[in-house]
Structure 1
Amino acid sequence: MRVFIRYLLDQKIALLTYMGFILIFGVTFFLHDIPFEAYSDALLFSFFLLAVIAAVQFYRYYSKHQQLDGRKKAVKLHVLDRKRGSTLLEEDYEEMLHSLDKEYRQEIGESKRINHKLMDYYSMWSHQIKTPLAVLNLKMQENQLDHTVLKQELFKIDQYLDMMLQYLRLNHTETDFVFETIDIDRLIKETVKKYATFFIYQNLSFSFQETKQSVISDKKWLQFVVEQILINAIKYTKRGGIRIYANPENSKELIIADSGIGILPEDRQRIFEKGYTGYNGHNHQKASGLGLYMSDEVMRSLGHTIHITSEVGKGTKVWLDLSQHLYQIE
């Protein structure tokens, strides 16, 4: 009964039109003094025809309602299994539904991809953050937890937490980038100052030749890249030190060089892959393969480039090409 009432409401324009025609014909018959029997016969025949048409339409209306009502709980299972609409408007609705279903499936696929990507990251990140925690636990058991070690390991934990936040933001950099004029020398000094304890503790030297350059970039993200390079340089350099200077042949290119253990030739081609640690990472059991991957992604997003040269036993050089946005300070 509810469906029938709803059908009548949906057909109210057609019913009002029919009643209007009845009224018009009634007035016309009356003005021309046509016998009422003729009018009643015409009314009876038209009503009978209308009843038949209405019954057929209501049957289709009810069948369509039952069909759609049964698919409400599993719309996505029935979108592709549909018949061509009987009217132009139905075809338009079906095309719109097909487009929405396609968009829905794409969003679900993208959501699954991002979720899988995050799960991979969390797995690697959880392994990485266990290292400073294990060091702290070991030093406590051996009663060797001095102030310097505590400060270093807590700093590492803080850096790993910051890396996690940066990784999450990396998927939304279109709203996170804030481009401004950055003094490269000041940025380098601020970054190196944060790692002064590590240089002193590991007895590493540090040399910095001022570049006198500025860059139009995002300070937070560019500093993140420099930090990741310094972390790797400190981690894999046991003696000697680290140098930061501009490329003599191209003043718009920044070089961060260390005298560390270097990178094997077979590893150099894959160092920017997510999760790839290579021989050094496996040997030291401290690498997650995320720092350089994220650095490469950030540099690409900023319009800069990064590449690495290295020689086993002699050290590694990281080249940051900022030429797209650099200009000389007056």
Structure 2
Amino acid sequence: MLLLFLKERKAWILFFIVMQIWLNFILALDVAFVHTSTIYINSVNIILFILFLAWRFFIETRYLRKLNVMIQLEKQLDFDTLLALFPDGCTPFEHLFAEAIEEVVLKSREELNAVKVDFSEENDRTLIWIHEMKTPITAIRLMIDSIENPILQKKMELEWLRIHLLLDQQLHNTRLPSIGIDNMMETIVLQKIIHKEIRELLAWCMEKGIGFDLVDLEVEVLTDQKWFSFIVRQLLTNAVKYSDENTEIRVFVTRDQTGHVLLHIQDEGIGISKADLPRIFDKSFTGSTGRLTTASTGMGLYLAKNAAEKLGIVVLVQSELGVGTTFSLCFPLKNQFLQISSR
């Protein structure tokens, strides 16, 4: 901070040096000062100037020190408390600076609150629309079940499933910001969730001739059932979407050396290119693989990744073009879960 202060006051220092040079020039030329000690005068002036700079350094950096303390407390205190602690300053300029900052902060806060209100209202409207759509969707499902032509019934069921999955994706996208108050941690059996989600995709799987190989799924984990089901749904949907016809999707469980449970969903699809792999969890990113189908929205993996992080689940992926893709869900240990839930 001292170097910064000296740099800020370089005009003062330059002015003092120029005045000292001028003073010594006068003392050297004027015969009236022939017996005056220039060393004494220069020494006194330099000492007084250094004392003056030290005094100004203490006065002017006091305000900056208060600001630094407030910055260090930023993560520990709420916004209102921080605003109350904002230093007023001692000098007229510091008072003016503090007033300007407070005015800007208050105006920004008002605009932020307005944006939050608009966002909340938009979320509410979206949720209402989704719930309103469930009524005709349910009615369409009942109508599909009554169709006698099996070929037409399968086609209608497949289109219904696509609409259902898109609505479900939008519903969880809207609820994702409030996942912290929307979840309930409980012990669930992986096999039960996997079987349920596969049944939901049965029409799609039958159309493409895709089968499932389920291995060692009688494992219990601690998580939120609703959000975990959504994560599995997105990964299974991706596996079915990008799998070749008449192939198999393998779902199995392993444990790593530290005891973490890992759920793997492995397909034999077209795979993901190395260039796209680092970005597949980005919002709205479809990549070269996603462009092969108009059904890709680039939201499924983004939502699955964000929901998993909220639950303390790590999403891993391995893929090779032409070979297939394996998504893995690594569940936290009990002590890690307690740390996550206490945040």
**How many Å separate the matches in 2 of 1:244 and 1:144?**
30
**How many Å separate the matches in 2 of 1:275 and 1:98?**
34
Mapping of 1:123-272 within 5 angstroms?
A: 146-238=152-244, 239-247=246-254, 249=256, 252-272=261-281
Over the matched positions of the two proteins, sequence identity in percent amounts to: 27
Change (3 A) 1:95 1:204: closer
- For residues 231-266 of structure 1, the C-alpha deviation after alignment (integer angstroms, 9 at most, x for no partner) is 111111114110000136566101000000000110
Assess if the C-alpha contact under 8 Å between 1:217 and 1:325 holds in 2.
no
Assess if the C-alpha contact under 8 Å between 2:312 and 2:332 holds in 1.
no
1:312 to 315, 321, 324: 321
Corresponding position of 2:15: none
**How many Å separate the matches in 1 of 2:105 and 2:322?**
58
The residue identity in structure 2 corresponding to 1:172 is S
For structure 1, the residue ranges without an aligned partner over 5 or more in a row are: 1-92, 122-142
**How many Å separate the matches in 1 of 2:186 and 2:255?**
26
Q: What is the CA distance between 1:107 and its match in structure 2?
A: 2.7
**How many Å separate the matches in 2 of 1:169 and 1:324?**
26
Corresponding position of 2:301: 292
Q: What is the CA distance between 1:210 and its match in structure 2?
A: 2.6
Superposition TM-score, scaled by structure 1 size: 0.57
Q: What is the CA distance between 1:162 and its match in structure 2?
A: 1.4
Q: What is the CA distance between 1:109 and its match in structure 2?
A: 5.4
Change (3 A) 1:101 1:314: same
Change (3 A) 1:324 1:107: farther
- For residues 206-252 of structure 1, the C-alpha deviation after alignment (integer angstroms, 9 at most, x for no partner) is 10013332122111110001011111111111141100001365661
**How many Å separate the matches in 2 of 1:157 and 1:297?**
23
Q: What is the CA distance between 1:193 and its match in structure 2?
A: 1.5
For structure 2, the residue ranges without an aligned partner over 5 or more in a row are: 1-98, 127-148, 336-343
Superposition TM-score, scaled by structure 2 size: 0.55
Q: What is the CA distance between 1:314 and its match in structure 2?
A: 0.8
Alignment root-mean-square deviation, CA: 3.3
**How many Å separate the matches in 2 of 1:240 and 1:145?**
22
The residue identity in structure 2 corresponding to 1:244 is V
**How many Å separate the matches in 2 of 1:288 and 1:259?**
21
Secondary structure at 1:162's aligned position in 2? helix
**How many Å separate the matches in 2 of 1:97 and 1:284?**
51
Assess if the C-alpha contact under 8 Å between 2:161 and 2:201 holds in 1.
no
Corresponding position of 1:9: none
Secondary structure at 2:318's aligned position in 1? strand
Larger relative contact order (Cα-Cα within 8 Å, sequence gap ≥ 6): 1
**How many Å separate the matches in 1 of 2:274 and 2:100?**
57
Secondary structure at 2:271's aligned position in 1? coil
The residue identity in structure 2 corresponding to 1:315 is G
Larger Cα-atom Rg: 1
**How many Å separate the matches in 1 of 2:255 and 2:268?**
19
